[in-house]
Amino acid sequence: MATRGHWLVKTEPGTYSIDDLERDGSTPWDGVRNYQARNFMRDGMKPGDRVLVYHSNAKPMGVYGLARVRDEAHPDELQFDPSSAYYDEDSDRDDPRWWCVDLEHVETFESPVSREAMKEEPALADMKLLERGMRLSVMPVEPHEFETVLRMARG
């Protein structure tokens, strides 16, 4: 049995928040238009993998909850929708450029684990999310970092 992956996704709560995910139950994590992030979703994420949900441009910034990967990656439908901001006229139905997974809500934390608190936590000193200039919106998380964030969320 392969070890499950651990991930983090960023979202701007004004666009789509953990509360939206809780309301929806699950959602395609679409609109991601970065090849590295796409590759993590398409090639890295497996059903059952757990995902930290991070709010950027929020007060406070931080991890607000937990989700789970529901399926293997599938083509992001928005790339075929001319009315979408994520429409990609160069993408071909037979060879789609953009892929996403569906994420399922697991838990909304009672109080978020703030970026500030994470930066003060020695166990998270090497966490990619906290690196300066890190813009990637889908990234792997080390298992011990993942568990540290969960422990912080649960006090």
Partner DNA sequence: GCCAACGTTGGC
What residues line the site for DNA (CB under 7 A)? 10, 12, 34-36, 56-57, 61, 115, 131-137
Q: Closest separation between CB of residue 3 and DNA, Å?
A: 26
For residues 101 and 72, is the Cβ–Cβ distance under 8 A?
A: yes
Q: Give the other-Cβ count within 10 Å of 109's Cβ.
A: 19
Closest CB to DNA among residues 61, 123: 61
Closest CB to DNA among residues 28, 31: 31
Closest CB to DNA among residues 110, 131: 131
Rounded Cα distance, 85 and 98, in Å: 14
Chain centroid, CA 134 distance in Å: 14
Alpha-carbon distances of 58 from 71, 84, 88, 137, rounded to whole Å: 28, 25, 29, 15
Which residues, other chains included, contact 59 with Cβ-Cβ below 8 Å and sequence gap of 6+?
Answer: none
Q: Closest separation between CB of residue 120 and DNA, Å?
A: 12
Q: Closest separation between CB of residue 18 and DNA, Å?
A: 15
Closest CB to DNA among residues 93, 135: 135
Closest CB to DNA among residues 4, 86: 86
Q: Closest separation between CB of residue 2 and DNA, Å?
A: 27
Which tokens belong to 63? Answer: 């991890």
Please count the helices (runs of H) and the strands (runs of E) in the chain: 4, 8
Q: Closest separation between CB of residue 142 and DNA, Å?
A: 18
